Structure 1
């Protein structure tokens, strides 16, 4: 009789894998190390996930799909462009503060496997910016915003929000702050980033 997969064991494996991937990255992580972290044997780990790639994708998907639908909902609600920028920034920074490994995961995997994002793009809840772009054009025509392409504005929003997490050690060194100071700096960016972007595009 085939062994039935236990959801609690799978949850323990994913939590352990997240910790190891966060510390070692995809290439540096070892299945034995993940098994040890989960306090199971390697055979059990392979029963649940046949390869490190599959395990990595499961960890990544779990985290990303918690965030992506939230961001997609903000981009496609009925709020103004300014409100979208503020809500997007607040939600993104709050989420990544709890999952700081995620931006590095994305960059590592895109460098290692550029086609990986194509799998993500087809998932339900993946951010769609078409309505956001149309709303920007409407507000430009009304004289609320300066002329700007929606794609460029979206990239600006993403870049200003992502970089402090990807380059955290560098930022701490540049501005000479400890972990506590860095956490406060990131918290402040919820308003700093939004204000900066909004002030730059207001007509």
Structure 2
């Protein structure tokens, strides 16, 4: 990838996200992304030699925005229940703006393991140590049920991400329009937090 001005990069990334969200990686074309960005295809290819490289750059950019938000939530001085609420709100809000992320991670783990291995070996992941210790402390204080803290963390991520990964299936099962499904996702912020809190609260 050539060095690229930040404002041009932002325009290209936003345009790519729009097209990737509509058509997925396989169905997207560089010409469509160039048209969406208001630049010619030659300029887009100058910065990104292929659709895969652009997709990877967009993914890295989005992931680097999400990780610090989750880190901040998990390591704040908020109560355990407040953290669960904030996590559900921030995570679902972010993925609604970057819906390609969960599917892309799964695709790359299966189809492009070298990129995934290289990226994940270098990426700054949220560190949940403080959060896990906080759960243990709440168990000792008997404010929550005796649970495996790591299981709660898995529940938080998996229950938040599946509605995005499984959206084609859920659309069919629920027979919902895009607008109706978006309303469910917005509603899910509070629903997920409430469900998790009630499942562990004494």
What TM-score, normalized by structure 2, do the two folds share?
0.84
* Residue number in structure 2 paired with 1:159: 158
Provide runs of 4+ in structure 1 moved above 6 Å.
none
* Residue number in structure 2 paired with 1:191: 190
- In structure 2, what is the Cα distance between the partners aligned to 1:90 and 1:58? 25
* Residue number in structure 2 paired with 1:75: 74
* Residue number in structure 1 paired with 2:119: 119
When structure 1 is superposed on structure 2, of 168-177 and 70-79 the one drifting more is: 168-177
Task: Report the alpha carbon displacement of residue 118 of structure 1 after superposing the two structures with TM.
Answer: 5.0
Structure 2, unaligned runs of 5 or more: none
- In structure 1, what is the Cα distance between the partners aligned to 2:187 and 2:63? 23
Paired residues in the alignment total 200
Task: Report the alpha carbon displacement of residue 59 of structure 1 after superposing the two structures with TM.
Answer: 0.6
CA, structure 1 residues 19+136, in 2 after alignment: closer, same or farther (shift >3 Å)?
Answer: same
Task: Report the alpha carbon displacement of residue 176 of structure 1 after superposing the two structures with TM.
Answer: 3.0
Once the two structures are superposed, the pairs formed by residues 100-139 of structure 1 within 5 Å of their partners are 100-115=99-114, 116=116, 119-120=119-120, 122-124=122-124, 126-139=125-138
When structure 1 is superposed on structure 2, of 176-185 and 149-158 the one drifting more is: 176-185
1:63-101 CA distances to partner (integer Å, 9 max, x unpaired)? 222222111100011112211111100111122222222
Task: Report the alpha carbon displacement of residue 43 of structure 1 after superposing the two structures with TM.
Answer: 3.8
Contact 2:88/2:192 (8 A) holds in 1: yes
* Residue number in structure 1 paired with 2:142: 143
- SS, match of residue 154 in structure 1: helix
- In structure 2, what is the Cα distance between the partners aligned to 1:92 and 1:99? 10
CA, structure 1 residues 89+45, in 2 after alignment: closer, same or farther (shift >3 Å)?
Answer: same
* Residue number in structure 2 paired with 1:96: 95
CA, structure 1 residues 71+12, in 2 after alignment: closer, same or farther (shift >3 Å)?
Answer: same
CA, structure 1 residues 6+181, in 2 after alignment: closer, same or farther (shift >3 Å)?
Answer: closer
Contact 2:80/2:135 (8 A) holds in 1: yes
Contact 1:10/1:48 (8 A) holds in 2: no
CA RMSD of aligned residues (A): 2.5
Structure 1, unaligned runs of 5 or more: none
